[in-house]
Structure 1
Amino acid sequence: MGDSVTSDGINYRIVSPSLTVKAMRDSGYKNTAYALAELIDNSIDAKANLVEVFACENPVQVGSRTSHRVETIAVLDNGHGMGPQQLRRALKYGDGEGADPSRIGRFGMGLPNSSMSQCTRLDVWSWTNGAGNAMHTYLDLEEIEQGLIDDVPEPDHSPLPDYWRDLSEGLGDTGTVVVWTNLDKVNWYGAAATLKNTADLIGRVYRHYLDEGRVDIRMAPVREGKVVDGEYHAVPNDPLYLMGSTSTPEPFSDKPMFMPFPMGDESAPGVMHVPVSHEGKLHNITVRASIARPEARRGDVEGHPWPDGISRTADPGKLPWGKHAQRNVGISLVRQGRELDLDASWAIGYDPTERWWGIEVEFPPDLDPIFGVTNNKQSATIFSSLAHFDWKVHAEAGESPKGFKERLAELGDPRLPLIDLVHYLEDKLLPAIRRQLKQQTIGTRKSKKRHDADVDSKATDAVKRRSEEGYTGKTDELDEGTTPEAKRQEQVEVLTRRHHLDEDIARSMVEESLKKDLRARWISDFQDTSAFFSIDLMAGMLQVIFNEKHPLHSHLMAVLEDVPEDADADELRDRLDRAAETFKLLLFSWARMEDETYPDRDRERIADARREWGRYARDFVDGKAD
C-alpha cells in the first residue's frame, strides 16, 4: 500500500498531479478580482491588519510603440506568517487549515486554486521572525507537466527579496507574500487598469472588515519598481448603503444613501433573524434590509439639496449615485463577515427601481451545505436556485404548504431548510419594499403626470359646483369649521399611515392641495381588498385610491399610463384596444353582479345605484348636473 509504483514500473495514481492542476485551472473564478479575493481571505484569516496588492507592469513593444502590461501580481500581508510545514501544506490542494468555523477559508483550496487559475508560476515567502528569515516554496505548472515535481517543494530559507521590501509600507516581523508570474489568464493589461477593475468588488466583498477598521487593503500599481499614480486604499462599497463612509459618489460618500426598512424587532430596525435547524443544531440567519432615502430619488427634499449643477427634476437613476446603485442590485450573501455573492437573480431585471433597495442575508459557515456554498466562495447555488420560487408550482394536487414541506423532508430535498426564508423574502419583504418604493415618488414632478393633475383639478371643479348647487357630502360637513392646520395634519396622517407614503412627499402633496384649494386627489396604493378602488373622506378632501393589487391596474391603468416614450403607432393602437376591452369587461362584471343578485328588491337597489352613478359621471365628465 505504500508505493504507488508497481514492480513493472507502472504508476497507478488515481489522478496525476499534472492533470489535477490543469483541471483546477478552470475552477470557475469569474475574473482576476475574485481570485485575488481568495488571497485576501488568507491574509485576514492570518490576522493581518494590512494587506497590500501590487500589480507590477513592464514595457512591451506593440508594433511601433511601447506599451505596458502587467507581468506580476503579488499580495503581501503582515499576518502571523507560516512555519515550513504549514507553508508547504498551504500549497497543497485540499489541505490548508481545514474546516475551521472561525476562518473565512473552507477546504484549503484557496491559495493554489485561485493562483493557478490566473498564472502558471506561484511563489510564496512567509516569515514568523523577520523577513530576513523567510521560508520560500512554489508551484510551477511547467515543472508539474514535465513530471519534474510530484510534491510541493520543501520550503527553503530564502530572505524576502528587496523588491517587495521596498514596495511595502507596513512590512511586519511576521507576514506572507504570494507572487503570481507567467500571467496567462489575467483579463486586464495595465497595472492601474487591473487594480481599478477590482475596486468595486474588493470594497464590497470586505466592506464589513473595512468599515470596522479590521483591515486596510492597499491597491498599488507598480512600474519599474516604483508605485505610480492609481494607488488607492479600498473603501467600503455597501450595497445596503447604510454605512457612513463609502465609495458612493457625493452627496452620499460620507452619509448613508439608504435607511433601514422596518421589519423584525423595533429595537433593531431593518434586522430580522430567521432560525434554521441543521444537523441537530439551531442557527440564526440574519436578514438586513434597506430602502433609498427620499433625497436619493428626489431633489426637492427640504434640507437635502442635490449638488449644484444637477437639475432637481433629473432622473436619479442617471445621476452618479444612481449609476453606483445600479451596479449593486440584488441580495448580498454574507458568510463570516465576507460577501460571497451579490445575487441579482432576485431582482426584477427590467425594473430600474430595483436599484433602490438592498437586502443582505448573513449566515455562519456551519450552514454552507444548506446554502450550497461553492469551493471558490463565489456563490451559494441552492439559495440562488430558489429565486422567484413558487411552492405551488412544485406542489402536488391538493397539497398544503405543510404537506409540501413534509414531502420535501421525506425526499431529503436540500432546499427544505431555506423554504421559510425564501417565502419571507419573496412573498413578504420584497413586495413590501417595492410598494414603498412606488409610493416614494408619488407627488414628484416626474411621477405626477400632467393628466393626473388635470383630473384632480376637474374633479375639484365638479365637487365645488355640486356643493354650490346644494349637494353636500360628508367631506363638506367635515370641512365646516375645520382649520387649515387640522386639515393638513389629517391628510398627512392618512397618506403616511394608511397609504405608506414618505412623510416629506405627503406634506408636499398636501401643501400643494391647500395652496390650490383642491378638493379631490387621485393616488394609487397596494390594498388587500377585492375592491379595485377605495375612498378616503376627509375634511374638504375626497381622495380616491386605485388598488394596484387589483388586476384592473395592470390591465387598464398601466396599459394607458405606463407607455414607453419610444412606443410606435401599432403599440399605441394595441394599448387602446386592450384598454377598451378591459373597460367593456368591467361593465360586464357589473352586469353579471346584477344578474346574480337576489331577491329582486336587492337587484333593483343595485340598478338604482347604477343609474345614480351614471348621473354623477355625467356631471364630472361633461360638467352637466341634473
Structure 2
Amino acid sequence: MEQQMIDIEDSYPIVSSDMTIKAMRDSGYKSTAHAIAELIDNGIEAGADIVELFAVEASERRTERARYHVEKIAVMDNGRGMDRETLRRSLRFGVGTRQDRKGIGRFGVGLPNSSMSQCKRVEVWSWQNGPDNALYTYLDIEEIEGTHAQVPAPSHYPLPDEWQKLSQGLGQSGTLVLWTNLDRVQWLGATATLRNTEELIGRVYRRFISDGTCRIRLVPVHGGEEVDAKDARPNDPLYLMPHTSTPYPFDTAPMFRPCGAGSVGQVGVEEFMVKGIDGNEYPVIVRASIAKDEARRSDIDGKPWPDGISPTANPGSTPWGKHAARNLGVSLIRANRELDLDKGWTSTYDPVERWWGIEIEFPPQLDEVFGVTNNKQAATAFSNLAHFDWEEEAAGTGMSWGEFRAQLHEEGDQRLPLIDIVYHIRQKLIGRLRKDLQDQTRGGRSNRKRHETAEVQADQAVKKRRTEVPPSRTEALEKEATPEEIEQAQLESLVETHRYPEADAKRIIEETTAQHRKVRLLTSRNPDSPAFFNIEFIPGLLQVALNMDHPVYNQLVTVLDSDVADASRAELAHRLEQAASAFKLLLFSWARFEDELPDESKAKDRVKKMRQDWGRLASEFFTADLSDDDDDDEDDEDDE
C-alpha cells in the first residue's frame, strides 16, 4: 500500500502546547517550598556550594491597609552554569539536561514544571565566564497559550545589578532563576515565605547543609535591600544531627539516640539488598532513632528542662516537642535528598509517635522499584505498602511468613523487592520503638500523674472499708512488718518485678508514703501472662499492675492515657469511641467466660456471685467521697 504523506499543517499533535502548560501547572507540587526545592536541586547538581533564595516584596502595597506582598522569587547558585544549548533545553518540558542515574535529578521536568506551578513568567540567566557575560531566556504563559511556541533562543544579557548586589555567593559561573507574575505562591510576605520554606528546605537538604557541601541562604528583600537574611539550618527528623533547627536545648546536641540492633555494625542501622530493573542489586539502608530520656522527662539528673518551661509540662507541648510533631513520619531519602516525610506509617491519634524516627535511604537506580514520582515528592510504590499486613493477606491459608513470601515470589508480585523492608519496619521496628517509648516515661512524674485521680478515689474507698470490714491481707501484713521492711518490699517489687529504674522506684515510694496512700496503680511488662492486670499484696499497700503487653492495654488504656497536646477534636472522638468499644469487648469476654462454664458446675454459681460482689464493691469505689482530706490517716492508726 502506498504510504500517505501528511502535510505538517494538517497533523494532529497528541497534546497541544497550551493544554500541556495548563496540565503542568496543576502537576501536584505540595507547596511553594516543594517547587523551590526543584531549583535548589539544579544548583546542587551543578556543583554549587552556595544557593541563595530571594523573596522580594513589592515597593508599594495594594491598598493602604494591606501588607507588602511578595512580587518576585529568585534562586541563584554558583554552580557550573549552562551553555546556550543546555540553557534552552532546560526550559523544555520533559527534556531536561540530566537524565542519568547518579544524582538528584533525572526526570527533565524540574525547572519549567516547578516554575509554572507558581508563576506565569520564569526568566533564566546563566553564565560560565562572569555574570556580565550571562545568557538569558524565558518562558511566559501568556505568550505560549494558543501557539506552537518555541523556547526563545538565549541571548547575551548581563545579570542585572540588583541581583549582583544582593548576592553573597556570586561566582564566575552560575545561574539565576527568577519567578514573576506570581499567582500561586502560598504566602503573602517575604519573611513568611522564607520562614515557611526554611523548615522544608532544611529537612530536604539536611545532609548537604550539615556536611558543608552546600550553604542555602534565605534572603528577604524590601526596597532593594536584604532584611535579616540567614542560612537555612538542618532539620533532621531522626534528631541525630548535633547542630540543627531544633529548639534549645537540643539545637546543639542530638535529641534522639539510635535504636535497634543493626546489621552493619552500627546501632539502629539495617541494610537490605534490592534488585533494580537493570537486574543489579543495590543497598537500601534503614535507620531508626528514639527520643532520649531528657527530651520527655524533666527529672533526669543533671539534665533539667530550661528555665521558663514547667517541669510538669507535657513534653509534647514544649518547643522541641512541637518541633518533633511537625517531623512526624518515615523519611524517604534518595541521593542524599529527602523525597518525602511519609505519615502513612504513624498512628493517627497518638502524639507519642513524634518521639521516634525512621529513615529509608535508597539510590536512584531503584526509582522504578520505589515508584519515585517525576516531581521527586514521593515514592508511591513504597508508600502504598504503609498499611501492608501479610497476615491479613494470607488469612485463611495457614501459611507462615516464609511460606507467604515464597508464594509472592512464585506469583511474580511486583511488591516483593520491598516486602522484606516493610515487614522489618511494620512487624519489628515500629513495635519495638513504641514499646521503648511506653517504658521510657512510665516511672516519670507526668505518667504517674495520669493515675492520680483513680488512685485518690480508690484510696478513699479503701480507707472507708478499713473501718467497716475485718482487716484485709495487706493490712494484716502491715501489722507484722517494720517501716524498713515495707519500704524494701516495695523497692523489690518495683525494681525486680516491674523493671523500674531504681531512682524512679525510690521516688514513687517516697510519693506514696508522703501521701499516705494505701493503693498504687502502675504499668508493667509481662508478655507471658494472659492477665490484663496483676495484683500484689504488699504490707499496707494494694498494688495493681496493668500489663502493657496485653491487647486490652493498647486498645483501652493507651488511647485514653496518651498525650492530648496536639490531638484534634476528631482524634479525641476517635479515641473515646475506641476505648468505649474496648471496654464493651471486656464485658463480652467475661460473658463468654461464664457461658462456657457447665450448667451444673458449682463454679458457675461462684463466678456469678463473684461478679455480683465485685459490682457492689465497684459501686463503693466509684462513689467514694473525694472531698475527704487525703492526708488524714487517723482512722488507719486507730485500726492498727
Q: Deviations for 1:212-250, whole angstroms, at most 9, x for unmatched residues?
A: 111111111112321124x22100111111111111111
Higher relative contact order (CA 8 A, sep 6+): 2
Distance 1:305 1:173, change over 3 A: same
Partner of 2:188: 189
- TM superposition shift of 1:17: 2.8
- Show the 5 A alignment for 1:79-478: 79-147=79-147, 149-150=149-150, 152-229=151-228, 231-265=229-263, 267-279=265-277, 280-395=279-394, 397-398=396-397, 400=399, 401-448=401-448, 449-450=451-452, 465-467=475-477
Q: Deviations for 1:475-501, whole angstroms, at most 9, x for unmatched residues?
A: x9xx98x996x99699546555xxxx6
Give, in whole Å, the separation in 2 of the partners of 1:434 and 1:6: 66
Partner of 2:69: 69
- Give the SS at the match of 1:198: helix
- TM superposition shift of 1:18: 2.9
Distance 1:115 1:532, change over 3 A: same
| Partner AA of 1:115 in structure 2 | S
Partner of 2:629: none
| Partner AA of 2:238 in structure 1 | L
* Structure 2 residue ranges without an equivalent (≥5): 622-635
Distance 1:595 1:433, change over 3 A: farther
- TM superposition shift of 1:305: 1.2
- TM superposition shift of 1:365: 1.0
Give, in whole Å, the separation in 2 of the partners of 1:577 and 1:405: 34
Distance 1:208 1:410, change over 3 A: same
Q: Is the 8 A contact 1:556 1:583 kept in 2?
A: no
- TM superposition shift of 1:502: 6.6
- TM superposition shift of 1:533: 5.0
- Give the SS at the match of 1:180: strand
| Partner AA of 1:97 in structure 2 | T
| Partner AA of 2:593 in structure 1 | S
Distance 1:251 1:16, change over 3 A: same
- TM superposition shift of 1:319: 1.9
| Partner AA of 2:224 in structure 1 | G
* Structure 1 residue ranges without an equivalent (≥5): none
Distance 1:66 1:352, change over 3 A: closer
RMSD after superposition: 4.3
Distance 1:171 1:147, change over 3 A: same
Give, in whole Å, the separation in 1 of the partners of 2:164 and 2:345: 46
Give, in whole Å, the separation in 1 of the partners of 2:596 and 2:71: 77
- Indicate the larger mover: 288-297 or 575-584: 575-584
Q: Is the 8 A contact 1:560 1:576 kept in 2?
A: no
- TM superposition shift of 1:377: 0.6
- Indicate the larger mover: 577-586 or 430-439: 577-586
The count of residues paired between Structure 1 and Structure 2 equals 594
Partner of 1:34: 34
Q: Is the 8 A contact 1:492 1:507 kept in 2?
A: no
Q: Deviations for 1:289-327, whole angstroms, at most 9, x for unmatched residues?
A: 111122222222221111212211111212211111111
- Indicate the larger mover: 130-139 or 546-555: 546-555
- Give the SS at the match of 2:284: strand
| Partner AA of 1:246 in structure 2 | T
Partner of 2:593: 589
- TM superposition shift of 1:157: 2.1
- Give the SS at the match of 1:72: strand
- Provide TM-score, normalisation by structure 2: 0.80
Partner of 2:633: none
User: Identity across aligned pairs (percent)?
Assistant: 46
- TM superposition shift of 1:177: 0.9
Partner of 1:531: 530
Q: Is the 8 A contact 2:351 2:562 kept in 1?
A: no
Distance 1:463 1:394, change over 3 A: same
Q: Is the 8 A contact 1:559 1:579 kept in 2?
A: no
Give, in whole Å, the separation in 1 of the partners of 2:322 and 2:382: 27
Distance 1:311 1:225, change over 3 A: same
Partner of 2:16: 16
Partner of 2:625: none
Distance 1:536 1:493, change over 3 A: farther
Q: Is the 8 A contact 2:51 2:76 kept in 1?
A: yes
